[in-house]
Structure 1
Amino acid sequence: MNDGDEQLLRGRVYGHDHDDPDPGPRPGRTYAELVGGPLDGLLLDIHGWRTEEVDDGVALITELGRWPGGRALYDPRPGDPREPGPGVSCRFYYTGDTP
């Protein structure tokens, strides 16, 4: 990933198009910040997820990983703080790629 790709991703919500006029977070929604890997700096909308779903982590489709069109794996770290309510409530850390 180059610097242009990184700038494009900062502050954007995963799944929103890069040319969306407002790709950032929406008021009243809950997000996980993605840390490391190809999606570093993106927010993932986890609004309405149960605790068990957050604990399971995610496999997110990306063209920026080791396998274009594959998935980047992100998981919460045990013991990391979680804030209830809207805004960024937790972090998911990059753990690898899968085809």
Structure 2
Amino acid sequence: MKEGRRVYGAEDDDPPGPQPGHEYVELVGGALDGQLLDVTSWAGEDREGGAMLITENGLHGPGGRADYEPRPGTPDKWDWQGDYP
């Protein structure tokens, strides 16, 4: 995992980039393209369902959600499926 990559949901006072001992997936496409999502505490079955992530930059503006689902055969990359209000 590349140092200095932006982690989705990180606060300004959090250490920058991915942290040792954490597991991340890369978000591919859409408003959150290139960001990392910390899935360290997610159970395997929770990861299979992907995530609807809040974003300010999607098609529906502030409070909209971006749908990301695991890429078949490459579970460390999640592909954008669309934006929702």
Which of the five TM-score ranges fits, normalised by the shorter chain? 0.7 to 0.9
Give the Cα–Cα distance (whole angstroms) in 1 for the partners of residues 15 and 26 of structure 2.
18
RMSD: 1.6
CA offsets, 1:26-81, max 9 Å, x none? 1000001000110001000000211111110000000000011110000012222x
2:59 aligned with 1:73, yes or no? no
The structure with the greater share of residues assigned to helix is: 1
Runs of 5+ unmatched residues, structure 2: none
The residue identity in structure 2 corresponding to 1:98 is Y
Partner of residue 86, structure 1: none
Deviation above 4 Å: which 4+ runs of structure 1?
Answer: none
Out of 22, 30, 40, the position equivalent to 1:29 is: 22
TM-score, normalised to structure 1, is 0.74
The structure in which a higher percent of residues are strand is: 2
How far apart, in 2, do the equivalents of 1:91 and 1:77 lie? 6
Q: Which residue of 2 aligns with 1:41?
A: 34
Amino acid at match of 1:76: P
| Structure 2 residue 50 is matched with structure 1 residue 64 | no
Asked which structure has the greater CA Rg, the reply is: 1
Alignment size in residue pairs: 81
Equivalent residue of 1:76, what SS? strand
Give % identity: 53
